[in-house]
Amino acid sequence: MEVRVLSCPNCGAPISQSVRVCESCDHEYMISSFSSLSKISRPDLNKYTSAYTNALKNDPDDPSLNTSLGICFLSLGLHEKALANFEKAIGSDPENSSGHYMAAICLLNGKSAFLCEKKRVDKAIEYVNAALTIEELGTYHLFMAYLKYDYYKRKFLRTEPDYRYHLDLARSIGYTSEDEADLFNILKVSAPTFD
């Protein structure tokens, strides 16, 4: 694996892509999850976005850079731009479950599933199913339960398995309250009270 030396988006110090934390400023170089964003201020997020965009000029198919840039765009509410980056990351690394999961989140465009077109919700379900095929995480099942509850259950439409199946799996596999908060914060919706 080639190790390239890049600049830290936070402080500008040289950093190799093989490490996750800058030795100069102790900030994560590659944003890999929504919880990583909590440590980055809004003005600093623009620095990260610029750094990833510039790095992608040299390697446009890099899945880590595309995922990191996608997370930045998603947090800025730029869902279509984020989706393009996640799809590019999936194209380069189809076994990355988080890329599929985050692409599904983008498809809702910051709206509740109930307000989205059925084809977008169904495409989101496809992405979450792909993520679950790769890695079975409680958070993925929680998101699937939300999609099936908020769109299908609330519109009195049938789907198999239904939201209860995924909610039970999410609870049995487990997820943290931070995972749940991150999911519904990035979706920009309140966590439902599943009935």
Residue 102 within any structural domain of the chain: no
The tens digit of pLDDT for each residue in 29-65 reads: 788 888 877 778 888 888 899 989 998 998 899 999 9
Q: Are residues 120 and 72 in the same domain?
A: no
At residue 17 the predicted structure's pLDDT band, cuts being 50, 70 and 90, is: low
Q: Look up the CATH number of the domain holding residue 24.
A: 1.25.40.10
* Number of separate domains in the chain: 2
The 10s digit of each residue's pLDDT in 105-117 is 999 999 999 999 9
The verdict on 81 and 118 lying in the same domain is no
CA–CA dist 107, 100 (Å, integer): 11
Query: pTM to 2 decimals?
Result: 0.89
Omega before 161 within 30 of 0, i.e. cis: yes
Examine the domain organization and report whether 84 and 37 are in the same domain.
Answer: yes
Q: What is the mean pLDDT of residues 1-5?
A: 44
Q: Are residues 124 and 77 in the same domain?
A: no
Q: Which of 68, 94, 120 is the last residue of a domain?
A: 94
Assess if residue 101 is contained within a domain.
Answer: no
Band (6; pLDDT cuts 50, 70, 90): confident
Helical residues (DSSP H) of 21-117, grouped into ranges:
34-37, 42-58, 63-75, 79-92, 97-106
The last residue of one of the domains, among 65, 94, 123, is 94
Which residue did the predictor score with more confidence, 40 or 152? Answer: 152
| pLDDT tops 50 at residue 186 | yes
Work out the pLDDT band at 2, boundaries 50, 70, 90: very low
What is the domain extent for residue 60? 1-94
Does 5 lie in the same domain as 37? yes
pLDDT of res. 3: 41
Question: 100 lies in a domain?
Answer: no
CA-nearest of 73, 92, 90 to 82 is: 73
Mean pLDDT of 17-26: 76
Domain boundary among 47, 67, 94: 94
Query: What does the pLDDT average to over 129-151?
Result: 98
